[in-house]
């Protein structure tokens, strides 16, 4: 079987001109572009829901209550009546929420529109994602003054060097720093 020779450059160009090339594969359109009108229509029909509240919850109830509560869902009222906001509350904060319910609903009216939420439904239980508590950084305590350090060193002079002596020095410094008199 004889092999066919490769085409010359001119023959290759003629072959390529005759054949159609495959169209380039286009990436799909961005999902957000097509979903935005649909989401807007759903938001107008059913309201914003708890996702909008979760992002601004700290502004609505304050930082202290925001750590102990979270909005779960908005229950739509029947026949156009105002709905209820279901709140998950951690422990005894429920009584505090009940006392502040008028203020909370007034703030919700400013965010969601008047009459969207007319009452709060409080459910006690663990929060789904605990809010990150602010990190308390321990301040470094100032060193002892030279006279107290000398007294402590002299009182532990007869102890053998090692872990016990180091622990006693550390304890002594802590006690002398916190001594008010």
Please name the residue that has the structure tokens 């005894």. 92
Interatomic CA distance for residues 122 and 128, integer angstroms: 15
What pLDDT score does 10 carry? 92
CA distance 108 to 42: 20
Task: Give me the tens of pLDDT residue by residue for the chain, a chain 181 residues long.
Answer: 678 888 899 998 888 888 777 777 888 888 878 888 887 887 777 666 667 778 888 888 888 888 888 888 888 777 777 888 888 998 888 888 888 889 988 888 887 778 888 888 998 888 876 554 555 666 777 788 888 889 989 999 998 999 999 999 989 888 888 765 5
Phi-psi region of 142 (alpha: psi -120 to 50; beta: other; left: phi over 0): beta
Which pairing describes strands 83-89 and 69-75: parallel, antiparallel, or unpaired?
antiparallel
pTM exceeds 0.75, yes or no: no
């Amino acid at each position: 079987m004889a092999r066919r020779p490769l085409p010359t450059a001119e023959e290759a160009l003629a072959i390529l001109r005759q054949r159609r090339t495959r169209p380039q594969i286009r990436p799909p359109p961005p999902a957000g572009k097509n979903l935005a009108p649909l989401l807007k229509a759903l938001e107008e029909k059913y309201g914003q829901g708890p996702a909008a509240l979760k992002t601004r919850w700290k502004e609505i109830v304050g930082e202290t209550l925001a750590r102990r509560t979270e909005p779960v869902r908005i229950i739509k009222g029947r026949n156009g009546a105002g709905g209820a906001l279901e709140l998950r509350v951690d422990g005894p904060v429920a009584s505090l929420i009940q006392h502040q319910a008028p203020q909370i609903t007034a703030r919700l009216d400013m965010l969601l529109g008047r009459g969207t939420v007319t009452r709060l439904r409080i459910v006690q239980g663990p929060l789904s994602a605990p809010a990150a508590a602010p990190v308390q950084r321990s301040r470094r305590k100032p060193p002892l003054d030279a006279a107290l350090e000398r007294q402590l060193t002299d009182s532990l002079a007869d102890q053998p060097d090692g872990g016990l002596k180091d622990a006693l020095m550390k304890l002594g410094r802590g006690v002398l720093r916190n001594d008010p008199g």
